Chains A and B, each alone.
Chain A
Amino acid sequence: MRSVWRFLASSYLVAIASTLLLAMVLCAVFVPIMSAHDAHEMDWSALEQPPTFDHWFGTDLVGRDLLVRTMEGGRVSFTVALIAVTVSLFIGIPWGATAGFVGGKTDQIMMRIVDGIYCLPGILIVILLVVVFGRNQYLLFAALGAISWLTIARIVRGQTLRLRNAPFIDAARSLGAGTGHILLRHVIPNVIGPIVVYTTLAIPGVILAESFISFLGLGIQEPDTSWGVLVSDGTQTMESSPWLLIFPGGCLAVTIWCLNTLGDRLRDLLDNRETRPSS
């Protein structure tokens, strides 16, 4: 816990990014509950209104409060991140650990598959999946996870290879531990650091992918909303009411920036620790 605080206080960039991100998450959770307005409530006396004291972000074409809608969109983005990243961990960690630990032909085949998928435009695969199975948002989240496990698998494999011949693994094996047990109890706990770092770096990618798909009209559907949907709507009306584009787009950009900054810093920290000569 103390090392977490030390990390957060390590530079002003990290401090700013983590504060902003926390604020964004808290707003997404609490603003829709606490606001006087509802995301679907239409105020016919305030159509397409610029930001006012009553509607901080202004209102959209049918008089819905943009602040509440933007934060509802934020909920979608954070949910996407949570579900997709969980899916990617559930596929990526076992895949990478098995490939790295078993080695040989198995490793080659498994990593060739990863290489093959890696060079495909993942979002287009998700679009195909959405087309085929209909626009179910949980399926969309899972599909996003299913394309973002590749990096995790690669990282875990690399780390596992490094650990495979470590003395404590040999010790566990000589005590009669099976492969599954060794992977679960000895290998994976030792690769948690890199997994955390690359998960942080994967989240912005997933959030971006969801907003791309929703922007194209293939993701979240009205009356539900997400940042991609809001930006897409904002694009239609940006000449007469630019705030409909600027606020949701700004929230999206800020969130991505925070996550990227935190991920980069965590990676630097990890790299330093690994290249430091072991005592």
Chain B
Amino acid sequence: MKTYVVKRLFFAGVTFFVIVTSVFFLLRLAPGGPFDGERRLPAEIEANLKAAYDLDAPLIVQYGKFMANLAQGDLGPSFKQKDFSVNELIAAGLPTSAALGITAFVLALMMGLGIGITAGLQPGSVVDSVVMGLSNLNIAVPTIVAAPMMVLVFSVTLSLFPAGGADSALHFVLPTVALAIPLSAEIARIMRGSIAEVSHEPHVKTARSKGLSTSRIVLRHMMPIACIPLISFLAPAAAGLLVGSVVVEQIFDLPGIGRYYVAALSRDYTLVMGVTIVYAFAILLFNFIVDLSYGLVDPRIRVET
């Protein structure tokens, strides 16, 4: 188990380094700089500006400085929003994004597990077909359509929830649900399939014939096996949640870090780098945890690798 953990950690570190490096060079190689505005700046002023932001140094020196600062947790000043450092901008948006992402994830997991297990225990029944038909529909209606429709129904027509902003917990209800629903539908599909499969296993039949209660059979005898496909889905799911949150923050006008991504078009190099680093870090950390739980649930995996 120990070598397994060390290996995964090493792999995550290398991936992080590669991501940061490639994003850095990608953005610097792009045509057009942060100061190519509509008004042409006098050459001397532009040179001074570039010097202030270290843009006149050779690329490799800039890269070295950036990595050194990053090692100390400093993401540098924002190129576009003067008086703000990237750290400050991210610190302002991250709590909102994190709250949204985590609650949506937990909600999706609860709904998906509940629905998937219920349907999987009675495959072919009416409950099963209704639930699975609905979840197929949920997967098909993308967030960019579903979220505005929710605003239309629950905010505009019924006035139950506010349409945008982040002033109270009530403001988070619609965005969280909008973000959680497609994910919960995927989780439900996966759980339904694996529960239905596991219920034919001999040991489950034995447990049933011993007269154990359904909840005990599900929790103790089916879940440890049935949740393995789910765990391997969680990593791409988290990535999908991140992408979804960029859109959801836009639709519900939430002040998270997702909107900085769209600001990428203004070539705010440092801000885009900062957000990418935060996202990459979150994803890799999550993957690492998923890998560990994989090893815990399925002993074969930690022995193999």
Please report A residues at the B interface, Cβ cutoff 8 Å. Answer: 112, 116, 118-124, 127-129, 131-134, 204, 208, 211-212, 215-218, 228, 231-232, 234-235, 238-239, 242, 245, 249-250, 252-254, 256-257, 260-261
Contact = CB atoms under 8 A, between A and B. Distances in A.
B247 A215 contact: yes
Contacts of A245: 145, 148-149, 152
Given A212-B142, A249-B148, 9 more contacts: A116-B11, A124-B243, A132-B30, A204-B140, A216-B246, A231-B148, A235-B144, A256-B139, A256-B141
Interface in B266-305: 267, 272, 276, 279-280, 283-284, 287
A272 to B, nearest CB: 14
Contacts of A217: 262
Contact of B142 (A112, A123, A252): A252
A228 B239 CA distance: 20
Interface of B: 11, 15, 18-19, 23, 26-27, 29-31, 136-137, 139-145, 148-149, 151-152, 156, 235-236, 239-240, 242-243, 246-247, 250-251, 261-262, 264-265, 267, 272, 276, 279-280, 283-284, 287
Given A119-B235, A238-B152, A260-B136, A128 B144 contact: no
Contacts of B261: 124, 127
B171 to A, nearest CB: 18
Contact of A212 (B31, B144, B156, B284): B144
B284 A257 contact: no
B239 A120 contact: yes
Contacts of A260: 136, 139-140
A112 B239 contact: no
Nearest to A259: B140
Interface of B is mostly: helix
Contact of A218 (B18, B142, B144, B262): B262
Contacts of A120: 19, 239, 280, 283
A252 B276 CA distance: 29
A119 B152 contact: no
